[in-house]
Amino acid sequence: MISTDPYPKSGALRKLSLRAPLDLLFLFCCVLLTADVLVPEIFGHGKTKDYGLWYWAGQQVLHGGPLYPGDLREYFEFIYPPLPAILLAIPSWFGKIPLYVVLSILNAAAWWYTGMFSNAMTGSGRWPGPWLEALPALVTVTFVFDMFDLGQPNLVLLAMMLWGFWCLQHQRSWLAGFVFALATAIKVFPIAVLPYLVWRRKWAAAVATVAFTGILLYIAPAPIRGFERNAAELKTWYQGMVGSSSEKGFGQRDEQNWSWVNQSLIAITHRLVRPINYNQEDPKKPPRTMNVIDVDYKTANWIVLALSALLGLGFVAVMPPQARRTARSDAEELGILFCLMTVASPLARQYYFMWLFFPMTVLMHRAAYDERANVRLGTWLALGAAGILMLLALPWFPNVLQAWGNNLAATAVLAGTLAWHIRHPPVAAGSDAEAALKPGTS
C-alpha cells in the first residue's frame, strides 16, 4: 500500500511513500532484482538456481505426480514438506513467468516488511530517520540479492516470524501461532521458536504453533493430494530429510552439509572435532580438513548437544525475569533468539544469515539513541566488527574463512552485544531513557 503519510511514531508501521527518496530507491532495487529473475527466463536460456525446481514441484501437484522418490536411497530433488509444493502449484498453473513474478513480489514485500517490523520492534521509543531506517537493508543487500537470485524463501520466512512476534506483542496469540506454524510447514527450522514460547509462558501461541503445524502438514494438503498419500509423502520426506543423519551427511545434501558452505553450529563443530573434508562439495578441489581434535561421529554429536545446551542456558540466564522486562529488553531478547535460530538450523548457508537483519537493526538503534556516549561508540564498534567478519564471505576471500565460521563469529558478536545491553540497561542515563523502558508486552 502506498501512502504520503509522514514517518510514524515508534511502534507503528510505516507505509511505502512515493514522496520518500529512499522508498523510490527501494522500489528501483526491487525492479532490478526482479529483472535478474525474469530477464534470463524471457530473453535467455531460462532462470536457473531453484526456480525451475519450484515450477517442477507445482507441476507435480497439478498433474498428481510424486514429490519424492520411492526409494529413500535416491536423490530428493524437492527437500521441503508437501505444503510448499501445493502453494507453488497455484501460480505454476499459469506458467513459469507468472510463478517467478509471484515469488519476486513475495520477496519484495518481505524485504519491505522486514524493515518495517524490525524498526518498529526495537524498543528504542522512536522511529528512526530515513538513513538509519535504511542502514540494515543496505548492509544486508547481498543476502537480499541471494534471495531473489536463488529463489530461496528465507527472507519471506524472516518477515513471517517478525510478523508473528508483532502479533504476539499486540495480543494476537493465535494468529502469531498460525504464522509460526506456516513458516515451520515451509522450511521446518522456524520450529525452534517453540521452546522460547514455552519458556516465556506464551501458552496460547505455543499451542497454536503446534496445532496449526499439524494441520498444515497433515490436513491442509489432504483435499488435494489425498489424506493417505499426503501422510505417506510426509513420512518419506521425514525419513529422507530428518531421519537420514549420519557421519557422511544429512538431509539429502551430504556433499554440502559438512562442507564450508554450511556455517551452522552443528557443521562447524563437526569440522572442528572430526577430520572432515570441507571442500567435499566440489570434487575438483583438493581435500582439506581443519579439525583441532579427532573424535568419532557419536562423540561429536555429544559435543554439539553440550554446546547447544550451554547456549540455551546462557540465553535463559541473560533473559530478565518477567517483572523486569521492558520493551527495550524484549527487543534485545528477540534479537538473540533470531541469532540462535539462525545457527541452530542444521544447514546455515550464506543466505540464512539474512536473519541477522533484526538483531542488527536493534543494535543500530542502540548505537544511535543510547544516552551513554561510550555505549553508543562500543555498539558501533561491535557492529563494525560483525560487519568485517561477514565481509570475509565475499568471493575474493578464501573459503577456509567460511569453513572456520566467519558468519557464525559475526552472529556471536551480535548476540553477545545484545546480551550486554540486556544486562546493562540505561536506567540511570536520563529521563528519556527511562521513558523508553516500558513494560514488555510480548
What separation in angstroms does the CA of 323 have from each of 198, 233, 414, 432, 441?
17, 46, 25, 21, 11
- Angle (nearest 5°) at CA 243 between 238 and 246: 150
Q: How far apart are CA 227 and CA 121, in angstroms?
A: 40
pLDDT in tens, the chain (442 residues): 344 444 555 556 888 888 889 999 999 999 999 999 999 999 988 787 889 999 999 999 999 999 988 777 777 888 889 999 999 999 999 999 999 999 999 999 999 999 999 999 999 888 888 899 999 999 999 999 999 999 999 999 999 999 999 999 999 999 999 999 999 999 888 999 999 999 999 999 999 999 999 999 999 998 998 899 999 988 888 887 766 666 666 656 666 788 899 999 999 999 999 999 988 888 888 889 999 999 999 999 999 999 999 999 999 999 999 889 999 999 999 999 999 999 998 888 899 999 999 999 999 999 999 999 999 999 999 999 999 999 999 989 999 999 999 999 999 999 999 999 999 998 744 444 444 444 444 4
Q: Where are the domains of the chain?
A: 21-436
255: nearest Cα among 298, 293, 284: 284
SS3 call for 348: coil
| Polymer length in residues for the chain | 442
The reported pLDDT for the residue numbered 247 is 67
- Cβ-contact 436, 327 below 8 angstroms: yes
For 21, counting Cβ atoms within 10 Å of its Cβ (0-12 exposed, 13-18 middle, 19+ buried), the class is: exposed
In terms of C-beta distances under 8 Å and separation of at least 24 residues, what long-range contacts does 170-178 make, across chains too?
A: 170/441, 171/441, 173/202, 173/204, 173/205, 173/208, 174/204, 174/205, 174/208, 176/205, 176/208, 177/204, 177/205, 177/206, 177/207, 177/208, 177/209, 177/211, 177/212, 178/208, 178/212
Q: How many C-beta atoms lie closer than 10 Å to residue 130's C-beta?
A: 12
The reported pLDDT for the residue numbered 5 is 44
The reported pLDDT for the residue numbered 113 is 95
Q: How far apart are CA 84 and CA 161, in angstroms?
A: 17
The reported pLDDT for the residue numbered 381 is 97
Q: How far apart are CA 168 and CA 162, in angstroms?
A: 10
Question: Residue 279 CA to chain centroid, in angstroms?
Answer: 25
The reported pLDDT for the residue numbered 363 is 97
335: nearest Cα among 259, 251, 412: 412
Q: How far apart are CA 22 and CA 291, in angstroms?
A: 46
The reported pLDDT for the residue numbered 437 is 45
The reported pLDDT for the residue numbered 104 is 95
Q: How far apart are CA 78 and CA 83, in angstroms?
A: 12
